[in-house]
Structure 1
Amino acid sequence: MEPFKNLINATTVSSAGQHLQRAWSDFDRPRFEALANHGLDALELKARMLQLADAMRATLPGDFNAACSVLEASLAPPLPLDARGEPEGLTSAQASTGLAGWVIWSMGEFVARHGQHDVPRSLVCLHALTQRSTAEFAIRPFIQQQPQAVWPVLARWANDPSAHVRRLVSEGSRPRLPWGLRLQALVADPTPALPLLRALQDDTSSYVRRSVANHLNDIAKDHPDLVADWVKDHLIQATPERSTLLRHASRSLIKQGHAPTLAAWGLASGLTGRATLSLSAAQAAVGDAIGLRVTLQSTARQPQPLEIDYAVQHVRANGSSSPKVFKGWKLSLAAGEERALDKRHSLKPVTTRTLYPGMHRIELLVNGLALAEATFDLKP
């Protein structure tokens, strides 16, 4: 798979230069491209994005309002949406008319860096940019530094005709957005965002609803009881779409065995019966996979709804261990039923986790409770 950083390349720079010059005849395209391309291949993704933003600063009009007007005039049409409200790509003809995609990240960074003195004008520009990719990173410095000016605008945008803009309301204000500036005030107190999430959780676009679920999952990391109460309250007469959203919002709390969340989903009790876990081998090597077999035996007189996950206690470099929970199965176990479940667990290294040799323990979690375990020796 090609690295993300390569999506900002010399072709991106050339296209940006072309359309910025189209939008403003006095634009110094050669200087912009020279600055943006300087040592570009040696840079990582974020550094490339910042270098393009710096090149824009050096070549766009010095007046911020005029610079925003040039950015807006350089844009392609808004990204179209499918029947579910999910974004689709532009046709080649549409893409040739203006800018969209990864370059928008640099344009948003320019606005975030240089528009703090004029929040209303900056937000108008971000409103346009987010419809061609996303402004979820660019809006965060405004929320952090000037929240009183931004929250009323976000409240209006929650009813915007564009699903891209409505998604920005939720995604841009997530407390712990990956790759984004952490909004510590919202980590401590997410209250300002809650009315917006309430307004958006039944949005017609699955693109927007998924952002709301991820936002609630962010909040759950610091305020689990708040999210458990939210799920309990909003499950009442919930549509299938809202139930799906709330389930996704609950995923971390369910994995953790958070009792109020499990209760909200009718998973408060553990298994009435027996559970065993066995592995396909006593040893495995990094890069291989190991098989898990779970056997459930119900002794209940009624069906039991079960969330079955498993936690791998990964060995760390210093010899200690840290757990990582993996999704397993969601099922209803009939009265007196015995059922066997099989899964292959990959031991291939991933960018977010280094696998170290040593004895690894796997715990079987049924409705958040550890009911069985097994071990294997991971070899280099």
Structure 2
Amino acid sequence: MDPLKEMFNKEFYRHFAKAFGEADRNFNTGAFVKDVTRDMEGLSLNGRLRNTSVVLHKHLPEDFQKAITIIYKAAPSLQTGYTALVLPDFVALYGKADFDLSMEALKHFTQLGSSEFAIREFLKTDLSKTLKVMNKWAEDKNPHVRRLASEGSRPRLPWSFKLDEIIKKPTLTQPILEKLNADNELYVRKSVANHLNDHSKDNTAYMLQLVKAWDKNHQHTAWIIKHAIRTLIKKGDKDALMIFGFGEDVKVKLQKFSIDKTALRLGETLQFSFRLASESDAPQKLVIDYAVHYAKSSGALSKKVFKLKEVTLQPGETIDVSKKQLFQDLTTRKHYAGKHLLEIIVNGKMMGSKGFSLEV
């Protein structure tokens, strides 16, 4: 059972119904709780969220403007966070015929949870009109609203559908990114970096050209660029490496590379260490990563790159590095028995590898 879906449990719905009952004396709290919980046991987290929106619609006035007025009144008494996504979800489902009112509602409700998924329904329906509003949101004083401008228009937002028109024409979101490329809120900067990282997967040259024109001397902008190009750095992309002076032709030697075991069980930790020795007569900026090639169910290997550190290695200097890697199943990764591979990577270049086996 997915424990996260228990955010939408009977206690939550009783509190939810009470807030709406206080906002509208005609709201039948008992009937709502009965309807919304009737078949909820078999629903997933997102299934419960959507079901809440649908059942809420049945218990509110048919007229969208009247329904939204009640939701505004109830909202201050509701929990913030993931369950608050019900409010923008309601707007996405039932507000398309009243664009202006829906935009104001999404702007308001994103401050309680997030409207990033809901706004995409409007982008899908009328991309140009919706982006025009989001471009204004990028200048809003509230960081949640500014983040919505970037996050909602991401080409490949996780757990949502792709925005194919933006993938085909990435310049459509450039005005938003330009306005946020030195934002003072980390919450916003993370979204901008992830938005750019999305672009790097489909429009690498465009993304790199865009960030090269930005002021890397500004600490916030530099942070965004570094996180935006992280996928390209891990792949050893020459142009991405050069943005921060990480040369492609590194002159270092891998020494004393060792792993503490060649066979381990699921739940155990693999410890590895190595030394990098400079073979250059000039300082070198290095980004040091490692990769684990995980065995798949088919027996093939799947590569995952992890960051280690960034250093400047002086002529003749050495640096010792050690790391522990835990092997246990996660919601995002299931492990399979078989041969695995560990690689050391410097500036995108594979310096050495060692094999080991995993028992599950």
TM-score range, shorter chain: over 0.9
Checking the alignment, whether the CA contact within 8 Å between 1:9 and 1:41 is kept in structure 2 is: no
The aligned counterpart of 1:310 is 290
Matches within 5 A, 1:291-330: 291-330=271-310
Say yes or no: does 1:204 pair with 2:184.
yes
Unmatched 5+ stretches in structure 1 = 77-96
Secondary structure of the residue aligned to 2:50 is: helix
The aligned counterpart of 2:17 is 17
- Which deviates further from its counterpart, 177-186 or 281-290? 177-186
Cα deviation 1:183-226 (Å, max 9, x = unaligned): 22222322211110110111232211111111111111111222
Secondary structure of the residue aligned to 2:304 is: strand
- Which deviates further from its counterpart, 53-62 or 262-271? 262-271
- Which deviates further from its counterpart, 257-266 or 99-108? 99-108
Q: Kindly tell me the number of residue pairs found equivalent between the two proteins.
A: 358
Say yes or no: does 1:251 pair with 2:248.
no
Distance in 2 of aligned mates of 1:33 and 1:331: 58
**How far off is 1:8 after superposition?**
1.9
Checking the alignment, whether the CA contact within 8 Å between 2:117 and 2:152 is kept in structure 1 is: yes
**How far off is 1:98 after superposition?**
4.3
Q: Which runs of 4+ in 1 moved over 3 A?
A: none
The aligned counterpart of 1:367 is 347
Secondary structure of the residue aligned to 1:308 is: strand
Distance in 1 of aligned mates of 2:186 and 2:297: 41
Secondary structure of the residue aligned to 1:191 is: helix
Distance in 2 of aligned mates of 1:321 and 1:103: 38
- Which deviates further from its counterpart, 257-266 or 226-235? 226-235
The aligned counterpart of 1:242 is 221
**How far off is 1:111 after superposition?**
0.9
The aligned counterpart of 2:73 is 73
- Over the matched positions of the two proteins, sequence identity in percent amounts to 32
**How far off is 1:290 after superposition?**
0.7
Cα deviation 1:31-87 (Å, max 9, x = unaligned): 2111112233442210110111111111111001111111112122xxxxxxxxxxx
Pick aligned residue for 1:266 from 229, 242, 245: 245
The aligned counterpart of 1:27 is 27
Cα deviation 1:1-23 (Å, max 9, x = unaligned): x9322222222211221111222
Distance in 2 of aligned mates of 1:299 and 1:205: 41
Say yes or no: does 1:161 pair with 2:161.
no
Secondary structure of the residue aligned to 2:70 is: helix
The aligned counterpart of 1:47 is 47
The residue type equivalent to 1:109 in the other structure is D
Checking the alignment, whether the CA contact within 8 Å between 2:78 and 2:84 is kept in structure 1 is: no
Distance in 1 of aligned mates of 2:124 and 2:333: 31
The aligned counterpart of 2:98 is 118
The aligned counterpart of 1:82 is none
Cα RMSD for the two superposed structures: 1.6
Pick aligned residue for 2:314 from 316, 323, 334: 334
Say yes or no: does 1:144 pair with 2:136.
no
Checking the alignment, whether the CA contact within 8 Å between 2:193 and 2:228 is kept in structure 1 is: yes
Checking the alignment, whether the CA contact within 8 Å between 1:231 and 1:261 is kept in structure 2 is: no
**How far off is 1:281 after superposition?**
1.3
Checking the alignment, whether the CA contact within 8 Å between 2:248 and 2:348 is kept in structure 1 is: no
Distance in 2 of aligned mates of 1:322 and 1:198: 36
Distance in 1 of aligned mates of 2:215 and 2:258: 36
Secondary structure of the residue aligned to 2:154 is: coil
The aligned counterpart of 1:63 is 63
The 1:321–1:229 alpha-carbon spacing in structure 2 relative to 1, beyond 3 Å, is same
Checking the alignment, whether the CA contact within 8 Å between 2:258 and 2:273 is kept in structure 1 is: yes
- Under a length normalisation based on structure 1, what TM-score does the superposition of the two structures give? 0.90
Distance in 2 of aligned mates of 1:68 and 1:294: 60
Checking the alignment, whether the CA contact within 8 Å between 1:141 and 1:181 is kept in structure 2 is: no
Checking the alignment, whether the CA contact within 8 Å between 1:170 and 1:215 is kept in structure 2 is: yes
The 1:299–1:99 alpha-carbon spacing in structure 2 relative to 1, beyond 3 Å, is closer
The residue type equivalent to 1:23 in the other structure is A
- Which deviates further from its counterpart, 38-47 or 345-354? 38-47
Cα deviation 1:341-371 (Å, max 9, x = unaligned): 1001111111212211111112211000111
The aligned counterpart of 1:286 is 266
- Which deviates further from its counterpart, 312-321 or 4-13? 4-13
- Which deviates further from its counterpart, 190-199 or 269-278? 269-278
- Which deviates further from its counterpart, 218-227 or 256-265? 218-227
Checking the alignment, whether the CA contact within 8 Å between 1:317 and 1:356 is kept in structure 2 is: yes
Distance in 1 of aligned mates of 2:184 and 2:135: 17
Distance in 1 of aligned mates of 2:30 and 2:270: 56
**How far off is 1:250 after superposition?**
1.4
The residue type equivalent to 1:243 in the other structure is A
The residue type equivalent to 1:129 in the other structure is F
The 1:290–1:99 alpha-carbon spacing in structure 2 relative to 1, beyond 3 Å, is closer
Secondary structure of the residue aligned to 1:362 is: strand
The residue type equivalent to 1:166 in the other structure is R
Distance in 2 of aligned mates of 1:321 and 1:234: 38
The residue type equivalent to 2:338 in the other structure is G
